[in-house]
Chains A and B, each alone.
Chain A
Amino acid sequence: MAELPGFGLYVHWPFCQAKCPYCDFNSHVSTQIDHAEWARAYEMEIERLGEETGERRLNSVFFGGGTPSLMDPQTVERVLSSARRVWSFANDIEITLEANPTSVEADRFKSFFAAGVNRVSVGLQALNDADLKQLGRLHTADEGRRAFDIARAVFPRSSFDLIYARQDQSLSDWEAELAEAIAFASAHLSLYQLTIEPGTAFGDRQKRGLLRGLPPDDLAADMYEMTQQMTLDAGLPAYETSNHAQAGDESKHNLIYWRGGDWAAIGPGGHGRLTLDGSRYATETPRSPKEWLGAALNGENPENRTVLSQEEINEEAVMMGLRLAEGVEAALIPQFEEKINNINGLAESNLIELHDGRIMLTAAGRPLLNAVLRELLV
């Protein structure tokens, strides 16, 4: 049964050492970063938001990117202390930082821990050098393993990310790699199928018909199924489409997104959801680092806010909630009565289950989430 989602703070750090060819996150390569200015801008944004939200208890802070492991640990520290000043911290607050596994960054893990970070998510992406190269990564597989060893020694909680269904990857390739990953994983693991996003280098290559060797849907489906089974057998079941954890080790922060909670978002291209005076707002800041920084430092509110209608709130709740193994309250489906035939059809086809007023995907339904959502929401 779902718990209350809680309240989170997302901090976006928009810089990376290099841009990966598959990545459509708001990330930029820059050599001139005035870390003190960024710290100051984040602080001002937290102050501003605190005035609007008033007193709330923060359950999670997430430093995402970009590559937040490139942040000055002092910036992280300043963000955390102003957040603690503005909102109170829950006793079990989760403070996560995304990290890239190059040796430079691994050395700084201790400072991030000292600054207050208690969970790290390391982007290993692949466990062999050839594939890392193809993914445009700057680290080797060995560097990755070493970085993760340090991470798990330094932080109380740790996780790593892998991207699979890569070019020329066979089912057995992935089976071996996943087995290795499971063997050295801690209590949380993110396993994403490679998505070709428009506007990325891979996206452009695909548009020109030059991206070869991607697994056809049937193979990708087999990979997904195998991933579900192997992680389940290893005690790391999927609690979300692409996220696996031992019970109790789920990412609190991401659960806020998927359970429809509130979170404030600061930094360029940050998306938040805030309930203020009974209305739920979608917030969005400019993607350009320069533009955001300038506005924040000027004390201008850089956010664009739109009020969500009840129907939009519910649609989002269903879209996000069905990603979770625990599912979502069935009554949230807009125009539930009109959809009843579709719901029954999906249940008969063994793609969804209904229990105690909640609706959730079956193992067969999970890889078809988008198709299920079309039936329920379109």
Chain B
Amino acid sequence: MTDLNHIRNFSIVAHIDHGKSTLADRLIQMTGTVAERDMQEQILDSMDIERERGITIKANTVRIEYPAQDGQTYILNLIDTPGHVDFAYEVSRSMQAVEGSLLVVDASQGVEAQTLANVYQAIDADHEIVPVLNKIDLPAADIDRVSEQIEDVIGIDATDAVQISAKTGVGIPDVLEAIVQRLPHPEGDRDAALKAMLVDSWYDPYLGVVVMIRVIDGTIKKGDQILMMQTGAKYKIDRLAVLKPEMQDIAELGPGEIGVLTASIKQVRDTRVGDTITHEKKQTATALPGFKPAQPVVFCGLFPVDNAEFEDLREAIEKLALNDASFSYEMETSAALGFGFRCGFLGLLHLEVIRDRIEREYDIDLITTAPSVIYHVFMRDGSMIELHNPADMPDLTHVDHIEEPRIKATILVPDEYLGDVLKLCQDRRGIQQDLTYAGTRAMVVYDLPLNEVVFDFYDRLKSVTKGYASFDYQMTGYRQDFLVKMQILVNDEPVDALSMMVHRDRAESRGRAMCEKLKELIPRHMFKIPIQAAIGGRVIARETLSALRKDVTAKCYGGDATRKRKLLEKQKAGKKKMRQFGKVEIPQEAFINALKMDS
């Protein structure tokens, strides 16, 4: 157990790509936490998808031992938090477990939208904040301008900002010293009854559920009988460890310390982030306030392309859900798509991550239906329905009005792209709330409907600003608007998977774009195929896919018989990847791609 004065707990907050993971790598490396030969880049990002996309999805932790210049050795616990807005809530929770933050800003880019969003969370958590200017090796680095920005926009003193290059290693010793000297040590009473916060939990295929804790008061040991105060569940601790970042067993953890335990817990769902852990026999008198669980905001249907894989899909989803309490699912049936699941996600990235994992780790091809937010449908009889699926839209004669979720979006953008960003936000039914300047960059705040943001807003924003804009949002509440259900008909058959709620004023352009896209995505058939968008019975957009005119093999002699038969076998297999709507076959990729808009 470590004495409180020799502990520092901190997280790193940064906009994506400003160097959070690289800095973590350097801290780990320079303190010899991981042997040089075991070092790999972005060592805290453990999922394939995290490494591939260069993003952190789950919070990760590492315990670093640092012999400081004052001759004393300190224990530094770093919690690496996710940078993407989908996981903002997860960030805010992990912040409660530490006392300070390093605010990393790319000195060549300056403050960005996620810098703001994340640093405000740190401020809300009463953190001491040390500004760190990264990438000073870049010629474009402008230390004075960015320091000024930090002071003007965020309002924290940047005179003592640590200047570093996480890439070359310059300034890393200064970061370590600043952590020790400028961040507060935790407080706690080691003689009091055990009080520890459940910071996070995840499923490990070898160890089962692993629970990360921050001890506040008292001490915890292997073999202890513990009680989770909110859930009332009792466990015996099988294993107690710290993360370096590999698990290393430890005899005891005391106040201020961060570690993990295993205790034959079956599912992640049995644990609740923010819960208070105490000893069964000697309980703490005051439980922590706890957190409210993360709520899914985006919903879509996931169907196996091959109906025969439904059970495999069920198994995959159940397994993933065990490890991800913020992901919800329930069975759904569709006339055209058969059996599948309606799933809820924290955002579109979360959706893509889960979908990728099902396709990759479980080898199941999926059809993803149009993502939807939760609408509040107020009925004439005064009741309210939470609509997760446009297919469930009640008969309009019974509907009084519909409300949709809105967000507050903060976008930072270089001047020259401001016009394009404003146009994009206006097109997406945004209401401007604020427009200020942070140095040479404009900061726009918009009130936007979430449903205009879920498909491709972020992609569009990146493309109209050549990647220079940054974006962050938070949910604000519900508001009534003129929303309608738009259906897509292919060869006069409605395709439910493509139904969506849209604003009446946006329906025509949305419908036209969908029909045009589908015309490209559906292969020609032997007959011409009308593709229509309709509201109720009224067609608002229409395209026609002309009939296939030529598909014949010019020469076919003795040697080609075998080849043709093999092709036939392939086509039989390929047919499983198509879905039949009436006489029309729609390929799997068409569903999600039809939703992506060019403007």
Residues of chain A at the chain B interface (Cβ within 8 Å) = 10, 64, 192-195, 217-218, 220-221, 224, 241-242, 254, 257, 263, 265, 269-273, 282, 284, 312, 315-316, 319-320, 323, 345-346, 349, 351, 366-375, 377-378
Closest B residue by C-beta to A161: B555
A-B contact pairs, 7 of them (CB 8 A): A221-B550, A241-B554, A257-B556, A319-B561, A349-B527, A370-B552, A371-B548
Do A351 and B526 touch (CB < 8 A)?
Answer: yes
Q: Is B562 an interface residue (CB 8 A)?
A: yes
- Chain B residues with Cβ below 8 Å from A257 are 556-558, 561
Q: Is B583 an interface residue (CB 8 A)?
A: yes
Closest A residue by C-beta to B574: A378
Do A271 and B558 touch (CB < 8 A)?
Answer: yes
- Chain B residues with Cβ below 8 Å from A345 are 583
Closest B residue by C-beta to A308: B565
Do A220 and B550 touch (CB < 8 A)?
Answer: yes
CB < 8 Å neighbour of B550 from A217, A242, A271, A351: A217
What is the distance, in angstroms, from B571's C-beta to the closest C-beta of chain A? 5
CB < 8 Å neighbour of A320 from B550, B561, B575: B561
Closest A residue by C-beta to B556: A323
- Chain B residues with Cβ below 8 Å from A312 are 565
Q: List B530-565 residues whose CB lies under 8 Å from chain A.
A: 548-559, 561-562, 564-565
Closest B residue by C-beta to A377: B568
Closest A residue by C-beta to B549: A221
Closest B residue by C-beta to A369: B552
Q: Is B281 an interface residue (CB 8 A)?
A: no
Do B568 and A192 touch (CB < 8 A)?
Answer: no
Q: Interface of chain A, helix or strand or loop or mixed?
A: helix
Closest A residue by C-beta to B572: A378
- Chain A residues with Cβ below 8 Å from B548 are 217, 368, 371
What is the distance, in angstroms, from A193's C-beta to the closest C-beta of chain B? 5
Do A217 and B565 touch (CB < 8 A)?
Answer: no
* Docked complex Cα distance between A221 and B554 (Å): 12
- Chain B residues with Cβ below 8 Å from A224 are 550, 552
CB < 8 Å neighbour of B554 from A193, A263, A273: A193
Do B562 and A315 touch (CB < 8 A)?
Answer: no
Closest A residue by C-beta to B575: A378
CB < 8 Å neighbour of A368 from B550, B558, B572: B550
* Docked complex Cα distance between A241 and B549 (Å): 15
Do B551 and A368 touch (CB < 8 A)?
Answer: yes
Do A370 and B553 touch (CB < 8 A)?
Answer: yes
The 8 A CB mask of B337-378 against A (1 = contact, 0 = none) is: 000000000000000000000000000000000000000000
What is the distance, in angstroms, from B578's C-beta to the closest C-beta of chain A? 10
- Chain B residues with Cβ below 8 Å from A194 are 554
- Chain A residues with Cβ below 8 Å from B583 are 345
Contacts A349-B527, A371-B526; is A273 near B561 (CB within 8 Å)?
yes
* Docked complex Cα distance between A273 and B562 (Å): 10
What is the distance, in angstroms, from A352's C-beta to the closest C-beta of chain B? 11
- Chain A residues with Cβ below 8 Å from B558 are 10, 257, 263, 265, 271-273
- Chain B residues with Cβ below 8 Å from A373 are 568
What is the distance, in angstroms, from B359's C-beta to the closest C-beta of chain A? 24
Using A64-B557, A193-B554, A194-B554 as known contacts, list a sample of 10 further A-B pairs with CB atoms less than 8 Å apart, ordered by residue number in A. Answer: A192-B554, A221-B550, A257-B556, A265-B558, A282-B562, A319-B565, A367-B551, A370-B553, A374-B571, A375-B526
CB < 8 Å neighbour of A192 from B555, B559, B562: B555
Contacts A271-B562, A320-B561; is A369 near B568 (CB within 8 Å)?
no
Do B564 and A319 touch (CB < 8 A)?
Answer: yes
Contacts A271-B561, A320-B561, A371-B526; is A378 near B568 (CB within 8 Å)?
yes
Do A195 and B568 touch (CB < 8 A)?
Answer: no
Report which residue of B527, B548, B561 has the largest number of chain A beta carbons within 10 angstroms of its beta carbon.
B561
What is the distance, in angstroms, from A189's C-beta to the closest C-beta of chain B? 14
Do B551 and A369 touch (CB < 8 A)?
Answer: yes
Report which residue of B526, B548, B575 has the largest number of chain A beta carbons within 10 angstroms of its beta carbon.
B526
Which 3 residue pairs are nearest across A and B when measured between Cβ atoms? A221-B549, A221-B550, A271-B559
CB < 8 Å neighbour of A254 from B557, B572, B575: B557
Contacts A320-B556, A351-B526, A378-B572; is A371 near B551 (CB within 8 Å)?
yes
- Chain B residues with Cβ below 8 Å from A284 are 562
Do B553 and A369 touch (CB < 8 A)?
Answer: yes
Contacts A220-B550, A242-B554, A351-B526; is A270 near B559 (CB within 8 Å)?
yes
Closest B residue by C-beta to A163: B554
What is the distance, in angstroms, from A14's C-beta to the closest C-beta of chain B? 12
* Docked complex Cα distance between A154 and B553 (Å): 32
What is the distance, in angstroms, from A215's C-beta to the closest C-beta of chain B? 10
CB < 8 Å neighbour of B571 from A218, A269, A378: A378
* Docked complex Cα distance between A207 and B575 (Å): 25
What is the distance, in angstroms, from B201's C-beta to the closest C-beta of chain A? 48
* Docked complex Cα distance between A372 and B583 (Å): 14
What is the distance, in angstroms, from A158's C-beta to the closest C-beta of chain B? 19
Do A241 and B552 touch (CB < 8 A)?
Answer: yes
What is the distance, in angstroms, from B566's C-beta to the closest C-beta of chain A? 11
- Chain A residues with Cβ below 8 Å from B575 are 378
Contacts A320-B561, A323-B556, A351-B526; is A217 near B572 (CB within 8 Å)?
no
Q: List B173-202 residues whose CB lies under 8 Å from chain A.
A: none
Contacts A351-B526, A378-B571, A378-B572; is A217 near B564 (CB within 8 Å)?
no
Do A368 and B552 touch (CB < 8 A)?
Answer: yes
Closest B residue by C-beta to A217: B550
Closest B residue by C-beta to A373: B568
- Chain B residues with Cβ below 8 Å from A282 are 561-562
* Docked complex Cα distance between A234 and B561 (Å): 31
Closest A residue by C-beta to B557: A257
* Docked complex Cα distance between A284 and B563 (Å): 12
Contacts A368-B526, A378-B572; is A195 near B561 (CB within 8 Å)?
no
What is the distance, in angstroms, from A130's C-beta to the closest C-beta of chain B? 22
Closest A residue by C-beta to B552: A369
Report which residue of B525, B527, B548, B549 has the largest number of chain A beta carbons within 10 angstroms of its beta carbon.
B549
- Chain B residues with Cβ below 8 Å from A271 are 558-559, 561-562
